[in-house]
Amino acid sequence: MYRLVPKKYTKQRIIGPRNHLLPSQFLFLAMSLSGSQTKSPVSNTTLRRRALCTAEPLDDASKVITRPYPNFLNHDPWGTPSFPPVLSQNARLWFCSTSTLWASRRVAADPEAEQRRKNSTRTLSWTGRAASRSGPRQGNYTSNGSVKHRVVVLGGGFGGLYAAKALRHVPVEVTLVDRRNFHLFQPLLYQVATGSLSPGEIAAPLRAVMRGQQNAQVLLGDAVYLDAGKHRVILADGAVPYDTLIVATGARNFYFGNDSWQAVAPGLKSLEDATEMRGKILYAFEAAEREPNPSMRDAWLTFVIVGGGPTGVELAGALTEIARDTLRHDFRSIHPEESQILLLEGGPRVLPTFPESLSEAAERSLIRLGVRPRTGVRVTSIDAEGVALSTPGGEQRLLTRTVLWAAGVTASHFGQVLQQSAGATLDRQGRVMVGTDLMIPGHPEIFVIGDLAHAEQDGALLPGVAPVAMQEGRYVADAIMARLEGRTPEPFRYFNKGTLAVIGRAAGVADFGRLRFHGITGWLLWLFVQLMYLVQFRNRLIVFIRWGFQYLTFDRGARLITGKVSGQGQKKDTNQD
């Protein structure tokens, strides 16, 4: 048995003979045995302060005092406490005022009862943070003891992350699998590539994002195959079973069958791509500073961006600001403001997905910044020394050492896995054809969302942008909940909240259907939306401060050349002994 020692006495480990009663114990014993209904002279507040206790063994002489404690302290903390019949009303009130504190101390008289309490249904249903830290997850069961519905999410991008978070209050077990341990905010990758932001400011660790979701776990792994018959995702180093699978593995750079171009024209789909592009841009200015040949120096100071979509337009505007403002006074042999920045687009106008009026406004802004947009041209060859073009006037070659790719993307390789294992149909870009319910025909347990999905609405293909993936993720979570409740989910409908793009300082475009903005209004709307969609508050705050400082000073603090950079067609290590 145990003796309860009030907190005020715990500083003195030796309290006297072990069979002597403390004042608070004597008061409780008198109230319990006498059944007195008189009001206790000690206030509830005082009792609460004295109730935080430690435990010490008592000898046999005091068992009569401690006999009520086990029955009370081992009650179900989520149910109604049961009191020994010997207690009077005042004693019951005293226990009620201190029940929360006593239960939190978990002072148990019977180890077996304590173990039964830990294995109770409530503990298995909802595992708290302390339990998850002290041992393996135990949230695998429902209130009746059956195994929970297992949902596996492949990919921690916008679609996968929003689907996993939307399942927070659904009675399922969520497993989020990604080959990276972070969520990446891809719309701001170009700011990493141009030195405005650091990689950690647009990325958030998945475990930190999912920390408060008790029915979810995060696994670091690379999904290489799918056993659709046995409902298992095969990882490079194991397997994960599922009842429902959500595939959101995203997209990758696409060079239209010319994969050799990737070595000299990096794309922009990952943090590695962004840091490589940043090193390539900054190295061009460093190489031009040391180049004595004027024609070669001009080649180093010529930047060609392939693709006139939002990414290409944003890159062109940021590059102009770097050359005209950020690096203007940093070199002695060259004038960075004399750099040539060319934006190549195969269509008739830049920003082809925007209304024509906004495309024209964006083109005027680019020209005002110093960018030369060239539309109606097609790239036929890229090498370490230049770009070959097919133009309406004939073939042309541009001498440049810096080519940046923003022309196209294709679905991830997991689309081919779904084709082989689940019989999925792919389009020309490798995307999986799905119905209005975002499921693979014949496999209602497999959802495909985000850039990997070929989903149509009103006869038009949904664009591969972040808002579409977010809404698809939420829809899939609602569909899973509807299934568990025996309901049929409604077809997916995408609600277009608008499209935005930034050109440069105080220049942007925004399309909200009937409402269209450009100039500083579009720029401010773009800033607000980007900040709101960043996952963590810390990132929002840091990015907001960095943007404000950059706007006032034109300084880009992340102008670092890291790893290996391309120099004259050869790979050179920047590390020195």
Q: What is the mean pLDDT of residues 181-199?
A: 95
Listed residue (346, 266, 270) closest to 308, CA to CA: 346
Q: What is the mean pLDDT of residues 276-297?
A: 95
* Confidence check: pLDDT of 476 > 50: yes
Say if CB 47 and CB 92 are below 8 A apart: no
Say if CB 205 and CB 217 are below 8 A apart: no
Distance separating alpha carbons of residues 557 and 546, to the nearest angstrom: 9
Q: What pLDDT score was predicted for residue 483? A: 93
> Which option is the CATH number for 259-407+499-573: 3.40.50.620, 3.50.50.100, 3.50.50.60, 3.40.190.10?
3.50.50.100
Q: What is the mean pLDDT of residues 437-450?
A: 96
Say if CB 303 and CB 319 are below 8 A apart: yes
**Please, what is the angle between helix 520-533 and helix 537-553, to 10°?**
150
Q: Where are the alpha helices (DSSP H) in 63-188?
A: 63-66, 68-73, 89-105, 111-118, 121-125, 129-134, 158-166
Q: Which of 173, 291, 314, 472 is catalytic?
A: 314
* Confidence check: pLDDT of 322 > 60: yes
Better-predicted residue by pLDDT, 158 or 65: 158
Helix, strand and coil content of the chain, in percent to the nearest 5, comes to 40, 25, 35
Q: How confident is the model at residue 111 (pLDDT cuts 50, 70, 90)?
A: low
For CA atoms 249, 251, 252, 256, the dihedral sign is positive
Say if CB 431 and CB 411 are below 8 A apart: yes
Residue 452, Cβ neighbours under 10 Å: how many? 27
Say yes or no: do domains 149-179+221-253+410-484 and 259-407+499-573 share a fold: yes
User: What are the DSSP calls for 441-489, one per residue?
Assistant: TTEEEEEE-GGGEE-EETTEEPP-SHHHHHHHHHHHHHHHHHHHTTPPP
* Confidence check: pLDDT of 380 > 60: yes
Q: What is the mean pLDDT of residues 439-467?
A: 94
What are the residue ranges spanned by the domains of the chain?
2-118, 149-179+221-253+410-484, 259-407+499-573
| Pairing between β-strand 149-154 and β-strand 172-178 as defined by DSSP bridges | parallel
Give strand pairing partners of 56.
3
Give strand pairing partners of 177.
154, 219
Better-predicted residue by pLDDT, 14 or 337: 337
Distance separating alpha carbons of residues 510 and 355, to the nearest angstrom: 10
Question: Dihedrals φ, ψ of 184, to 5°?
Answer: -110, 130
pLDDT in tens, 49-97: 344 333 334 344 333 333 333 333 333 333 444 444 444 444 444 444 4
Distance separating alpha carbons of residues 421 and 417, to the nearest angstrom: 6
Question: Dihedrals φ, ψ of 429, to 5°?
Answer: -90, 5
pLDDT in tens, 511-524: 998 899 999 999 99
Listed residue (362, 275, 273) closest to 317, CA to CA: 362
Q: What pLDDT score was predicted for residue 108? A: 44
Three-state SS sequence of 559-575: CCCCCEEEECCEEEECC
Distance separating alpha carbons of residues 343 and 394, to the nearest angstrom: 18
Q: What pLDDT score was predicted for residue 78? A: 39
For this structure, is 395 an active site residue? no
Tokens (6 digits) for 165: 């978070």
Q: Model-level pTM?
A: 0.74
Q: What is the mean pLDDT of residues 106-135?
A: 41
* The CATH number of the domain covering residues in 149-179+221-253+410-484: 3.50.50.60
- Give the contacts of 258 (CB within 8 A, at least 6 positions apart): 382
Within 13 Å and on the Cβ side, how many CA atoms surround 378?
6
SS3 of 277, please?
Answer: helix
Say if CB 430 and CB 253 are below 8 A apart: no
For CA atoms 269, 272, 274, 280, the dihedral sign is negative
Q: How confident is the model at residue 199 (pLDDT cuts 50, 70, 90)?
A: very high
Cα 184 to chain centroid, rounded: 6
Place of tokens 């072990």: 18
Q: What pLDDT score was predicted for residue 115? A: 54
C-alpha distances (whole Å) from 416 to each of 37, 238, 239, 255 are 78, 20, 19, 18
Task: Compute the mean pLDDT over every residue in the chain, rounded to the nearest whole number.
Answer: 80
Q: How confident is the model at residue 562 (pLDDT cuts 50, 70, 90)?
A: confident
Q: What pLDDT score was predicted for residue 135? A: 37
Q: What is the mean pLDDT of residues 329-346?
A: 94
Q: What pLDDT score was predicted for residue 182? A: 96
* Confidence check: pLDDT of 324 > 50: yes
Better-predicted residue by pLDDT, 152 or 60: 152
